[in-house]
Structure 1
Amino acid sequence: MFTIDPGGTPRSYVSDGQRVTSVPLTIKRRSNRKLLIPPAHPSNASPSGGYDEPMIRMLAKAFHWQRLIDQGRFATIAELSSALKMEQGWAAEVIRMTTLAPDIVTAIVKGQQPRQLNLQLLRGRVGGIPRDWAEQRRLFGFTDA
């Protein structure tokens, strides 16, 4: 038998003739899926969230759309969203990701972003993206700031 014990300590014991292994995993939602995060251990500790393809694709889309506006193909986000048949607010959320600090963008593309960083937080739904890059680093969990 295998149990998930959030916040507990790993242990293994026998109960009623069955081996019971308890692992303190944390369950988090990330991009419409559940992510099991194992306990920190010196041999497998990794502060990064790994490659997050949806997040990388969304960043690429944001910079592409911003380039279309910068090149004059669309005058405004409203015009862009109308041409692409999407909600203006959603397009604005995505394009807002182009204001991220360059080192944050690089970390995401390399798969070295903090585990807790997700698309909802990046698109500014939780409280907006600060303009100050040092504040962004602090908010998104980049400890090297």
Structure 2
Amino acid sequence: MMTDVEISTDGTTITVTIPMSFKIRGGRKLIVAPDGMHLSPSPRPQADSTLVKALARAFRWSEMLECGDFATVSEIARAEKMNISYVSHVLRLALLAPDLVEAILDGRQPPTMQLQPLMRQGFPIEWQKQREFFSGTTR
């Protein structure tokens, strides 16, 4: 990481400039260093509230389908007043491996595991392949 240090002419002030950017993750601001490393503002892991909410919806909708409350994804979408595409993408989160679900709830998921990329790119169905796909960084 490159820093720029400047000392005032009278020698009483030092200015240090560190290049960084800010990224929003789960509604929180995250500092990103030039090398791409995420610098968390707090030492404790923070759950991604957007991802947790989507996960809760996925399991709720999955239960509704299994119990027979709704027969199709389009019925759920109509009842929830949501786009069928969104509902089907979110519903897929119910297929995540239990340890990945636990990591999301604990805030230990990899930084790359965010709702939009999960919905856009998808992920493997098999649990072991999911773990490999997410690089085992949930530990």
Q: TM-score range by the shorter chain?
A: 0.7 to 0.9
Length-normalised TM-score, structure 1:
0.73
Match of 2:6 among 13, 17, 32: 13
Match of 2:117 among 114, 121, 125: 121
- 1:1-145 equivalent positions in 2, closer than 5 A: 8-10=1-3, 12-14=5-7, 19-31=14-26, 35-37=30-32, 50-123=46-119, 125=120, 127-143=121-137
Alpha-carbon offset, residue 115 of structure 1: 1.9
After superposition, the C-alpha distances for 1:106-145 in whole angstroms (9 at most, x for unaligned) are 001011111222111233x1x2221122222232242379
Number of residues paired by the alignment? 133
Q: In 1, distance between residues paired with 2:138 and 2:102?
A: 14
Percent identity, please: 33
**Structure holding more helix per residue:** 2
Q: In 2, distance between residues paired with 1:87 and 1:144?
A: 31
Q: In 2, distance between residues paired with 1:32 and 1:85?
A: 24
Query: RMSD of the alignment, in Å?
Result: 3.1
Give the direction of change, closer, same or farther, for the CA distance of 1:33–1:110 in structure 2 (3 Å limit). closer
Q: In 2, distance between residues paired with 1:24 and 1:56?
A: 32
Unaligned runs of 5+ in 1: 1-7
Q: In 2, distance between residues paired with 1:93 and 1:65?
A: 12
After superposition, the C-alpha distances for 1:12-37 in whole angstroms (9 at most, x for unaligned) are 43266763223353543435765313
